[in-house]
Amino acid sequence: MRIGNVKINILKQMLVLSMIILAFGFTSKAAGVSDYGALKVSGRYLTSSKTGDKVILRGVSTHGINWDVGYPYISKDAFSTLKDEYAVNAIRLAMYTTEYFGYCDKAGAGESQESVRSTLKERIDNGVKAATELDMYVIIDWHVLNDQNPNKYKKEAKAFFKEISEKYASYDNVLYEICNEPNGGTSWSDISKYANEVIPVIRKNDSDAVIIVGTPTWSQDVDIAAESPLAFDNIMYTLHFYAATHKDNYRDKLKKALDKELPVMVTEYGLSEASGNGNIDTSEGAKWLDLLDANSISYFAWSLSNKDESSALLKAGSSKKSGWSEGDLSKAGKWVFLQYKKRAGVTNVDTLRKVIGLKLKNVKGKKIRVKWSAVSGADGYQIVYSTNSKFKKSKKKQVTSTAVKLSKLKKKKTYYVKLRAYKNAGAGKKFGKYSAVKKIKIKK
């Protein structure tokens, strides 16, 4: 593809970056929604509304949730494994709009189109709820592919995002991807026309959620989008790459977009060829992830699947739906998850166990005494508490003891409390699993 006359010595940049990384380590950690809160776009960066810090989501995309290589992995157990074992803090739910069991065209599926849509929305809801319970971010992806131009099913897209954004408007962890990979000659003008109608539908219900827009040529032409970005806040633009096919000239396209301050998110990438199959190229994969980390760009690996293709993260035919050890992972999965742990500052492969023995007691002066059992190997504990059972607008406290008093609480209010252990890991922290949630009403 044409990319102009920009020439960048990527190898030299990556060698310098690698030396910096080895010397100082990454400052990012596999933090979640309770750490960052709702996300927003500031300049070209994804940032935390709570702290103002730049945020890198290191995520995994499902395969199509239409099929049995995708939807069986939509579960709290599966997402928990990704989070606790492999430093994943975000999930992308890929819902195909066409092909078998597609939302807009069910193809050969025996069910009615309305029944297909109902099932797909139920799978999305299961995924959003599982991610929410686990303090993870989640992208709801309108997976345009064989329909090529998102305007083909624009009416259906507007109805879908109206319903979905109404349902999840209060969720701080939900992001919307409104067209996966426009292709077949679909222009940025075509995509802009579509986006200018779909985005206001979401904004009517959710005024500040991050919305991700695909770019031309299978979401590769971010440089073209950068010439004429959309006139909305909290918008990001998609770049997809498959490392064995997309190399320096595609990184040059990203560099051109960044030079124009375009907010970019990689909602799908793989180590394989562009087909999703074929050769694996970890050397090019490392160049890509180094470049993305250096520019605080989030990325989602394709795909959480046991499909017999080289981009799948699980071994072909694997029967396990969660609890994967290294031996259950494909070649791509082993490489990707090792990278995630290193880049998130998780230096200890072993996870901390869940905190047990959590006890709450009222103390005079609108206080709560919180006690729990020690976790072997922990450097400290993070307590999260809120008057909301979903921990919205929660407060956090970190201690090194196994008891703490929470003060300045509200009389006659019910408080929900959970906590987790952590290990110090470089500049960040490696967290264990949350305890069971306990609640208590402030008496006086």
Enzyme catalytic residues: 181, 268
C-alpha distances in angstroms, 301 versus 92, 94, 282? 9, 12, 13
Collapsing DSSP to helix, strand or coil, 141 comes out as: strand
Cβ atoms of 141 and 95 within 8 Å: the answer is: yes
> Under 8 Å CB-to-CB from 321, ≥6 apart: which residues?
72, 73, 75, 77, 78
Give me the amino acid identity at 5.
N
Measured from the Cβ of residue 353, the count of other Cβ atoms closer than 10 Å reads 13
Cβ atoms of 144 and 182 within 8 Å: the answer is: yes
State the Cα–Cα distance between residues 327 and 153, nearest whole angstrom: 42
22, 25, 30, 36: CA torsion to nearest 10? -140
Which of 85, 134, 148, 137 minimizes the C-alpha distance to 326?
85
State the Cα–Cα distance between residues 403 and 417, nearest whole angstrom: 13
Collapsing DSSP to helix, strand or coil, 418 comes out as: strand
Which of 59, 84, 72 minimizes the C-alpha distance to 297?
59
Measured from the Cβ of residue 281, the count of other Cβ atoms closer than 10 Å reads 20
Here the tokens at position 379 are: 């450097």
Cβ atoms of 101 and 109 within 8 Å: the answer is: yes
Quickly tell me which residue has 């309108």 as its tokens: 142
Quickly tell me which residue has 């709702």 as its tokens: 38
